[in-house]
Structure 1
């Protein structure tokens, strides 16, 4: 269908740049670099969430209030200065919005605090995804708070839970959090030793009478389980009046203040006297929450979380009241033009993603039409919005992308009103073409022999998903099993299925699920989703012959919404609800089992272990890469594409170095075996186990090869690098959950691994390993530079909007967070770009490229490439935004070493070519993949009708096409004579 531009129309970015806001990088800091980003060629700033987050947040995803800005980043004035500076440069602004969850370990989360004070009677009781009638009956009407570092009784009797009184209200201090006490239970505190207080006053003294009146008010306060709206309103109103009266009483009567203070001291108990904590225990029993050891959450949690993070509680975005309350500020910023696009975080966590996204686009349309949250019926803007959709099903008034991981062969649901994803699939696809796919079997043998076992990645993922369901998410799975059990009890044909068999069956289906989630939100199920469910159930059946196949068939029918014909409408709604709940569970299990466990266990080639990837597949063929680009150009041509994100397991320039290993299997095998022999004496023995184990040692060597700093570094820089490596290793070991974990850290084991790392990195003349290691590292580093250039060029020219993670315009060797969230030295980058522009004016782009390649370790060649191509793209948008994508082929001895394609727009054809698999082309550490000696007779075949002469945008070099076998072609020896990447425009 032809796409006609309509009003209001989404702003499509030319290129985005991701900024991580926190107290160390504020609105004022961002304002200062807007001009630099504009000069670099960036069209839109893509900001991490800057709505109010937990104090000290370094990432912004622990949101506590979506209706205000994060005060740690600056005030309204500094925010307006930032967006005004963007507008002055004609730049757009994409905001990362978090609709799935909020942080509940903060007193600034006023909605959660209200729930903890008022329970089911809170106006926000349905705001969060809380099960008020959970499987554990003792938690009925309560919320489990798994915030304690030890068992509840131990924490209580050690004085870890302290009662306090301020501003007329009582709280319990738990760690750094002050949790409100349910107002009716104030009576336990105020009535304790009341006779002692009365003795200090005459019988009819006003303070005593007021205190007794306050007690009467508390006794008549509607209970926390009240559901009648009128009574709920009365409770909200009267409790605040009571607090105010109590505080005023204390201000005017020091005796009452002293009495309360003494009672608080008594309730807080005395260490070493267990009986002294009985009063506090009784008080806590009466609360609408139950404080518990954090490990209890695994099985008994009764609120949905973000993955297994207890501090992040999911919100019910499917509730329109919740939607409107949380989106007020975002929509105002859209209306005012301060925000021109959104990135939706963790869209798979939502109960109904498609409905949410449709709601968001409609709200944005109404805002841009000046109508606020509501429309004006069929004849107003809301009606016009739906008429737009009838005319143009693809119409989107707001540029929106979703954080969504697509597995092999999976496509974004076509009915989602978004420009695309944030680009994880491209990250893995483009990285994969720099891995030699033909070396897969060799690397299998090298890895298996080194670790002394056969590793099957598919089996590892299956086992780790089951592990996650046992140690992190069993509560969620048990809840789903109980819901299935309730359904089975309603039909005589399924009544005999036991709860245990249903729990095992649903766990197996989840462990075998091939994608993160499906998206049924109505009685009809998408064909693709049906295939995923059928495949998972079939595989689970084969793996579990001891479980009756009829149990699996029942689970399948529920997930496919195949209710019996005799089922009542209410039963059908229940089936749909269970299927949608299932969809919210499979994603976290996949994420924790795959990304956060299996990726840290399977180390065949760790550059493949990144978010959205499947490292069991050894690289990407050029045909597959071109196929994915064609698919994106057809369906989501303006989706975001990236090579690094804040979620990356390792930075893009770390990966390119490790990718080069795939071309050197013999050298790698020889090196790793030799290094292990040299370092044998640095390993430890704990409980007859070698530390680090062979698999961990394999990871360490690859990590060092990828992350080693460029150029010469001083002692301080070297020590900083060692510290970063050791921090990474602790995280990697714990995520793997093999010899230590976050749940049960093995300090002795971890220290032994860190000792090994310290030993092999010791800078001493006798460290033979370091001498031999540096030889291979330097060669890989040189290869990595050229691969980084190719990767960057491809990202800027294939279909999609190229996104740059902060700092990656220079070559950066970052590891997984928090390492990749360190502050970026923008001062150095601003100076570098300024100097490059001056030097370019002096000697020209061609000479400057030669100069920069001679000093490639400083990374400025990458900065120059990005500057040249992004500015060209911004000035020539048509072929990139709307142009065709035509894969090109090469012919000759080096034909597999180039990735090339054409972008055909209204003004002509652009040619893109980038060298790949360069380690093979660079037999010596200091050589380059340039010139006739490298490319020999290889030519790039051009489309018929191609222009005879071109200019390489990268370095302004003129290039002339020749005839080859009757077709226009360019010799790669000429094209890559001075630089290994080319963006050719007709001259």
Structure 2
């Protein structure tokens, strides 16, 4: 079996199947990829473009070709000594529609369904209308209106021989316990035998045999064409809305308008998506049922490893990963003989804060690489640009005067109040249950707990914590303490006792009962033992564990929705830092800090994945790299935007005074207000009275600059129109995700139209000599610097410790935007043709076609293939750059303890101010002056640059004017030399 060295992510759907992938295996093999990395392969909702809405864990998706086509793909991979890693989705399934059998079963039988505990449903809702039921929030309008409009109808499913309620594509089975009364309502004599069969049928599990027998009689009845009119009579008898309503009220589901979900849903969702229901994979039977196919495919040698989607949504991520690792290890001996050498790769999708290390006790190889994407992306930015860009952004009309962190807190409050209110109530109820268990705390009210809980969640600095056996670890406490102090600053003094009490209930090791409310108010004391411990029982362990779980399942989506899906669309200081897994308030990372986090990854997770593009990124890797140049020229950018705003002011639409949401979420700083007091286009409070407002306009310019294709000319009307359509889709999503003047719940058509019309106007053919020409000119002036940034992050991804991950199509330039733009079809024929184009150095002159990037990837992957232990598990050594241009380069060495091989990666950085408006993405040798790469004795050898085929003799230092003469990056290898490094490294490390 080929060890995992690198992956190529492919997005499968019915437009790109296993057969399509099989036709590309030879291309990826020639590129140097060791494993394909597939989006989910289990059966998803019909027509799914991503596969994360699984409806059947037990079957390979037939839309992708099914298991037979998967087998043919794997056979071709094996023929090229390649493997397959698949994405799995244990956290949630797709619901709604008519294809999830488990979901349909709980709609039918409620909490007595055999799958009732598979889903994370609260069957004991405090709402009497939902007790023992599930909310089904799939109606396009209020229930009463849809019912009266007869959009909700009773139907007959001849295939399953069952009655169900139909609403568009959705199906809601009627419980068989109601069939007898339905037959009576129809008053059809032919139904009399069936009435007897279903009479007094119960919904308990012990009633299921009788229900099955009755169902078979109904099926036989329905196959007789002469009796079909009797079944039609049942449908006619329930056509009247009032009759159908009475039937619906007796079901184990409650149909509801989709907008009710945020406030009333009684099951855990994936974030706030009501089409995805949370799974209780912590239960052994659910774990086995949802992983049976994956385990079988692994044991059979059809797949080699897994990537776990959204691990933070699970009840206990650590325990889940440990269980998954154990099962894969157990199955390893069952695999075909040639596939048993390597353990299964196991990585998790995990968002980490900059000061949050990945836990080392999960049994995983690491994360999927969002942390690396953040780190290498920040490395491209100039820290000196942070302050002037922040000042520029805050001065724009419509921009918030708050810091990014303050905006994130505000957005979290908004998410909890508007999008996740039901989840807040669920967590509060779990804590309130603990309070009621102890007579010392039973008077703690639901409202007080909710108030304090909300502040804890708002101030939580990471996605979640990972307690063990109901107790927080020291690492958990580090983050929990920060949340507690942030909450303390916002709460009344009267809430202090509750603040500490929740600390104990949520895994703290202190006094769990704490002080009673009466004591806190001076109304008395709580009896305690002589030792100071509470005299009354502490919360039951199962209740505290449940509270910890739902708390963690609340902090995670709150952080994601507030930051990634809200503030990242509000805060426009520099969009290249508004990325999944990144903190936009941290604009840059120094080489020293990059070396530090990379060395830690090499030590703790040498097989973690390294990615710079994903199916979820907000901007393509080369879009971000180009925008990073702005951090080096903040004053020029501010002046450019000011000029464009003046140039395009004529295309703005006067704002309707009745737009009540015009200032929602926005604050204007005193400085920016005073600077606009004489502008007739602004209101008295400094807000621009035309749409789009300046802040939105500026973010639009950033998007245009970042995504403008290198080969697009302003004279190409059709090309500009196509580009504009892509940007328009991004703009709509950006406006709605920002949730300021429009959103997905209540779109503001007038505002969105004004913004859309503005975009079309500034990209119109008439603007070729105006804005359109200036946009292309500006992009052309920074494009070369952006390309250097792109090649820098490409090399670092390929040479850093870990598994290099390639997202489909990004072998060439990737100037994509957020999905669905980043999931467009890929022209693999173009990439296949570029494979034999030549060496990287020889392709630099034609850098705009992107072939130089592909050639670098191929050359680096070839070196990884020849020396896999060098890059996956090899030592990492930061190297020093000395000289007048030391801040414009970064370098490190890789050393293998297995075969003595070494490599040195060198990359130009911060090229914007050095290149100026140069057309070629390379710093001239003369500009490097006497800047040199210091070569420690440990790695001193004869090297050859595999990207430029240039040899360097062993020396104490190498001039960057030579190392980076042919390309802005270099990858030096000592292969073929008579090095004694292997013995030296082993001797110095004590491993001889």
Q: How high is the TM-score relative to the length of structure 1?
A: 0.90
Question: Which residue number in structure 1 is paired with residue 701 of structure 2?
Answer: 701
Question: Which residue number in structure 2 is paired with residue 234 of structure 1?
Answer: 207
1:267 to 235, 238, 247: 238
How many Å separate the matches in 1 of 2:2 and 2:207?
48
How many Å separate the matches in 1 of 2:2 and 2:323?
19
Question: Which residue number in structure 2 is paired with residue 382 of structure 1?
Answer: none
Shift of the alpha carbon at 1:95?
Answer: 0.5
Shift of the alpha carbon at 1:785?
Answer: 1.4
Shift of the alpha carbon at 1:945?
Answer: 4.4
Matched, 1:252 2:224: yes
Question: Which residue number in structure 2 is paired with residue 26 of structure 1?
Answer: 17
Q: Deviations over 1:205-261 (max 9, x none)?
A: xxx4xx3232122123123xx3xxxxx1432x332332332232243362x421321
Question: Which residue number in structure 2 is paired with residue 782 of structure 1?
Answer: 784
1:172 to 156, 162, 165: 165
Question: Which residue number in structure 1 is paired with residue 841 of structure 2?
Answer: 849
8 A Cα contact 2:787 2:921, kept in partner: no
257-266 vs 291-300, greater mean Cα deviation: 257-266
Matched, 1:721 2:690: no
How many Å separate the matches in 2 of 1:362 and 1:40?
33
Question: Which residue number in structure 1 is paired with residue 675 of structure 2?
Answer: none
Question: Which residue number in structure 1 is paired with residue 334 of structure 2?
Answer: 370
Shift of the alpha carbon at 1:961?
Answer: 5.2
8 A Cα contact 2:905 2:970, kept in partner: yes
1:661 to 606, 613, 630: 630
1:911 to 901, 904, 922: 904
Shift of the alpha carbon at 1:718?
Answer: 2.3
Q: Deviations over 1:678-716 (max 9, x none)?
A: 111111122244211121111100000000011145433
Question: Which residue number in structure 2 is paired with residue 99 of structure 1?
Answer: 90
Shift of the alpha carbon at 1:464?
Answer: 0.4
How many Å separate the matches in 1 of 2:883 and 2:597?
25
Shift of the alpha carbon at 1:267?
Answer: 1.8
Q: Superposed, which structure 2 residues align to 1:417-456 within 5 Å? A: 417-451=363-397, 453-456=400-403
Q: Deviations over 1:773-809 (max 9, x none)?
A: 2221112222111211111001001111110000000
Question: Which residue number in structure 2 is paired with residue 299 of structure 1?
Answer: 263
Question: Which residue number in structure 2 is paired with residue 815 of structure 1?
Answer: 817
Q: Superposed, which structure 2 residues align to 1:80-479 within 5 Å? A: 80-167=71-158, 168-194=161-187, 197-198=188-189, 208=190, 211-223=191-203, 226=204, 232-235=205-208, 237-252=209-224, 254=226, 256-269=227-240, 277-370=241-334, 397-451=343-397, 453-479=400-426
Shift of the alpha carbon at 1:13?
Answer: 1.2
Matched, 1:608 2:577: yes
2:450 to 490, 500, 503: 503
* Count of residue pairs brought into register by the alignment: 912
Shift of the alpha carbon at 1:570?
Answer: 6.7
Shift of the alpha carbon at 1:547?
Answer: 5.0
Shift of the alpha carbon at 1:722?
Answer: 0.8
8 A Cα contact 2:607 2:873, kept in partner: no
The secondary structure found in structure 1 opposite 2:155 is strand
860-869 vs 258-267, greater mean Cα deviation: 258-267
Question: Which residue number in structure 1 is paired with residue 651 of structure 2?
Answer: 682
The secondary structure found in structure 1 opposite 2:441 is coil
The secondary structure found in structure 2 opposite 1:583 is helix
Shift of the alpha carbon at 1:651?
Answer: 0.6
Change (3 A) 1:357 1:91: same
8 A Cα contact 2:813 2:853, kept in partner: yes
How many Å separate the matches in 2 of 1:253 and 1:903?
76
8 A Cα contact 2:470 2:548, kept in partner: no
The secondary structure found in structure 1 opposite 2:319 is helix
Q: How high is the TM-score relative to the length of structure 2?
A: 0.90
How many Å separate the matches in 2 of 1:339 and 1:492?
55
Q: Superposed, which structure 2 residues align to 1:603-682 within 5 Å? A: 603-682=572-651
2:968 to 958, 977, 980: 980
8 A Cα contact 1:930 1:978, kept in partner: no
Q: Deviations over 1:599-631 (max 9, x none)?
A: 111110000010110000111111111110010
How many Å separate the matches in 2 of 1:324 and 1:783?
51
329-338 vs 509-518, greater mean Cα deviation: 329-338
1:921 to 911, 914, 935: 914
How many Å separate the matches in 1 of 2:100 and 2:572?
41
Q: Deviations over 1:404-430 (max 9, x none)?
A: 000121011111100000010100100
The secondary structure found in structure 1 opposite 2:809 is coil
The secondary structure found in structure 1 opposite 2:765 is coil
How many Å separate the matches in 2 of 1:899 and 1:648?
25
Q: Deviations over 1:619-654 (max 9, x none)?
A: 111111111001001100110010001111111000
Shift of the alpha carbon at 1:827?
Answer: 1.2
Shift of the alpha carbon at 1:947?
Answer: 3.3
706-715 vs 889-898, greater mean Cα deviation: 706-715
- The unaligned stretches of length 5 or more in structure 1 are 1-9, 199-207, 227-231, 270-276, 373-394, 963-967
How many Å separate the matches in 2 of 1:304 and 1:116?
16
How many Å separate the matches in 1 of 2:768 and 2:294?
60
Change (3 A) 1:136 1:903: same
How many Å separate the matches in 2 of 1:158 and 1:83?
51
How many Å separate the matches in 2 of 1:331 and 1:766?
58
How many Å separate the matches in 2 of 1:765 and 1:303?
52
Matched, 1:518 2:465: yes
How many Å separate the matches in 2 of 1:371 and 1:606?
46
Shift of the alpha carbon at 1:908?
Answer: 4.2
Q: Deviations over 1:59-100 (max 9, x none)?
A: 000000111010001133321110001111111111100000
Shift of the alpha carbon at 1:853?
Answer: 1.5
How many Å separate the matches in 2 of 1:11 and 1:738?
51
2:69 to 72, 78, 82: 78
How many Å separate the matches in 1 of 2:598 and 2:961?
27
How many Å separate the matches in 2 of 1:145 and 1:92?
41
624-633 vs 884-893, greater mean Cα deviation: 884-893
Matched, 1:863 2:854: yes
Shift of the alpha carbon at 1:669?
Answer: 1.2
The secondary structure found in structure 2 opposite 1:96 is strand
Shift of the alpha carbon at 1:946?
Answer: 3.8
How many Å separate the matches in 1 of 2:470 and 2:449?
22
How many Å separate the matches in 1 of 2:767 and 2:870?
56
108-117 vs 415-424, greater mean Cα deviation: 108-117
Q: Which runs of 4+ in 1 moved over 6 A?
A: none
Q: Deviations over 1:180-211 (max 9, x none)?
A: 111111233211241xx33xxxxxxxxx4xx3
8 A Cα contact 2:392 2:638, kept in partner: yes
How many Å separate the matches in 2 of 1:45 and 1:858?
25
Shift of the alpha carbon at 1:924?
Answer: 2.3
Question: Which residue number in structure 2 is paired with residue 390 of structure 1?
Answer: none
Change (3 A) 1:640 1:928: closer
Shift of the alpha carbon at 1:567?
Answer: 5.8
Q: What is the aligned-residue RMSD (CA, Å)?
A: 1.9
329-338 vs 443-452, greater mean Cα deviation: 443-452
The secondary structure found in structure 1 opposite 2:395 is helix
Question: Which residue number in structure 2 is paired with residue 802 of structure 1?
Answer: 804
The secondary structure found in structure 2 opposite 1:624 is helix
924-933 vs 703-712, greater mean Cα deviation: 924-933
How many Å separate the matches in 2 of 1:597 and 1:903?
40
1:830 to 829, 832, 854: 832
8 A Cα contact 2:185 2:237, kept in partner: no
8 A Cα contact 1:561 1:575, kept in partner: no
- The unaligned stretches of length 5 or more in structure 2 are 514-532, 658-688, 978-992
